[in-house]
Structure formats: C-alpha cells, structure tokens
Amino acid sequence: NEYGTNNWHGEQVAADGTTFSDAAIAQVGNTVVIAAEGIFNSLDVYWQTDDTSGWHAETVAGIQTTYSVPSIAQNGNSTIIAAEGPSNSLDFYWAYNGSSNWGPEQVAGAGTTFSAPSITANTLGNGVNIAAEGPSDSLDFYWAINGTSTWHPEVVAGAGTTATTPAISA
C-alpha cells in the first residue's frame, strides 16, 4: 500500500507448495525481507529491494532444521532470524545485508524451546534479544552481544506462565 491511499497491491512471493508456516517480515535497510519455514523443515528467506519487482529466494538453513514460524529483524547492517530447531532447540542465523552467507548459531540445546521465538536487536546494548516458551511453560529470554556467539539464558517467568509465542521489543 502506498502511504495515504487505499490502493493495496498483491504479489505472490513464493511458488505454491514452498512455505509451511506463517511468514515473518521485516524492513531491512531498503529491502523487504520475509522468512518462512520451507519444504522439509528448511528455513527460507525472500527479499525484494524497495520500489523494484521480483522476489529473490534463499535457503538459510537446509532440511530438518526449522520447526516453527521464524522471527526476523534488522540488527545494524545485518538481518537476524531465530527459529525453533530440531528436538525443541533454539537456533539463530545472521547475514550481512546484501550477503547470502548465513551464520548459524545454536542459542539453546534440545528440550529448551517449545514455541516460535521472538527476536529483536538491542541497539543500546549492541546485541540480540530472543524470547521463547521454555520447558514446563516457562518464559525464557536469551541475549548475546554482537560479534560473539556466547548466549546468556534467563528465566523471566517460571513454570506454568507461558502457553504461546511471546513477543519482544527493545
């Protein structure tokens, strides 16, 4: 939609039979980026530069890596994505804007994550924040400083407090 109008324009981003979750969307620089669970539990992104046509597809993580709706955000000059991984793990991916070289990291191991995560960049703290439902319906929070792969886990609210995907904002 163009600002100030009621003219909505529809575009098919991905072919039929290629996405198997709800989509997550973010404005990253001058590009729209959409992430979704792809065929055979892969993680796919689709991007298009503003005011252009034609969507570009990339596979962020291959088959049997993604088991939830991903969450996506901009972090400085990078795109960041979090998703539930195999065996209820929590996975994180990042790539510099304009690059298709995705860096994978495991935030939390098997048996830690029971919902789609939510992700945000913490520009004041120069890092990444992720929230997800943890074991026994707890609310779990993870953070890392940009440029490091050390993730710090915290339990925000204990057992029986969270039964759905949490939201997060910095």
DSSP state letter for 167: -
102: confidence class by pLDDT, cuts 50, 70, 90: very high
Question: Does the predicted TM-score (pTM) go above 0.85?
Answer: yes
Q: Give the pLDDT confidence score for residue 51 in this predicted structure.
A: 86
| Of the candidates 13, 165, 37, the residue with the CA atom closest to the CA atom of residue 93 | 37
- Is residue 1's pLDDT more than 80? no
125: confidence class by pLDDT, cuts 50, 70, 90: confident
Question: Left if phi > 0, otherwise alpha if psi is -120 to 50, otherwise beta: which for 13?
Answer: alpha
88-96, long-range: CB < 8 A, 24+ apart: 88/112, 88/113, 88/114, 89/113, 90/117, 90/130, 90/132, 90/142, 91/61, 91/65, 91/66, 92/119, 92/128, 92/130, 92/144, 92/151, 93/43, 93/60, 93/61, 95/60
Q: Which residues pair with 83 in a beta bridge?
A: 91
- Is residue 120's pLDDT more than 90? yes
| Of the candidates 50, 3, 42, the residue with the CA atom closest to the CA atom of residue 19 | 42
2: confidence class by pLDDT, cuts 50, 70, 90: confident
| Of the candidates 115, 113, 119, the residue with the CA atom closest to the CA atom of residue 72 | 119
Q: Give the pLDDT confidence score for residue 137 in this predicted structure.
A: 96
What would the two tokens of residue 111 be?
Answer: 């048996």
